[in-house]
Amino acid sequence: MRKLPIAILQDANVEAGIASFIKGAKVLDLACGTGYYSKRFLEWGAKQVVGVDISKAMVDAANATSTNLHALSFHVTDCSVPFRYEDGVFDVVFGAWLLNYASHGKEMVNMFRNASVNLKESGHFIGVTPPPTNDPRGHGDRALAARPARDGNIVVTITKDVEKGVATHLESTMKTGKVEFDAYHLTKNVYERSAWEGGLEGALTWRSVESPDIDSGVLESLRSSSWLTVPHFSVLVVVKE
């Protein structure tokens, strides 16, 4: 999946969003999976990265593919439960596709609180989330109309309405097999209020999806599949004050 045009677009936007505060930073990577971004952060200039994930299989895979162990470590932990990690206070807390597992505001508050208790004052939380909107169903319908199942590599469908949003099912079929999972797309207001209630009371920014320094062939694929006009994700940046 990391080779798909949409994944390349996401990487470019994460790098652009974190560039101004990654150099020399100590980073906590929540829901790190196999450690993809944990390793990228070191490439982008971080000093130390701690990755945590609820899945032991994911953490085992992250450890198995890690070489820079003096600056990188992984642990099995439930990221939805606030917990102060032994490695100390961090300059940056990152969560790619973490907050979308919250089915309601209270769950999301705990995720933000987990970030807050591990962030230093003036530190940054950066997350990859569904696009900010107060009409998640409308956005989902537009995305599916723009990228029907027969045309797209990643398809997100709405399975039901929930309080302040919708439940979603993501599916991606490739030559190597199928990847699918269930998550939620809650309203922009829920994200913003949950960040504040979770202890992140500083400036909150939803970064526009851009296409910096992307290969022209990949960029054309992104345009033709409407990933730029009907975004699949957003990069959220919140400062702790």
Q: What is the pLDDT of residues 139-169, one digit of tens each?
A: 999 998 988 765 457 889 999 999 999 999 9
* pLDDT computed for residue 241 by the predictor: 93
Percentage, residues of the chain above pLDDT 90: 77
Write out 35-89 in H/E/C secondary structure. Answer: CHHHHHHHHCCCCEEEEEECCHHHHHHHHHCCCCCCCEEEEECCCCCCCCCCCCC
> Quick check: 40 pLDDT over 60?
yes
* pLDDT computed for residue 149 by the predictor: 65
d(CA 120, CA 112): 14
d(CA 55, CA 205): 30
Domain annotation for the chain: domains and CATH numbers: 5-133+187-239 (3.40.50.150)
- Top pLDDT among 50 and 213 is at 50
d(CA 228, CA 91): 30
**Cα–Cα–Cα angle for 227, 51, 176, rounded to 5 degrees:** 50
CB proximity list for 19: less than 8 A, separation 6 or greater: 44
Q: What is the pLDDT of residues 117-145, one digit of tens each?
A: 999 999 999 999 999 999 999 999 999 89
Three-class SS of residue 26? strand
Q: What is the pLDDT of residues 176-234, one digit of tens each?
A: 777 889 999 999 999 999 999 999 999 999 999 998 788 888 989 898 889 999 999 99
Residue 35: CA count within 13 A, CB half-sphere: 26
Both tokens of 31, joined, read 């829901």
Q: What is the pLDDT of residues 96-120, one digit of tens each?
A: 999 999 999 999 999 999 999 999 9
Write out 122-170 in H/E/C secondary structure. Answer: EEEEEEEECCCCCCHHHHHHHHHHHCCCCCCCCEEEEEEEECCEEEEEE
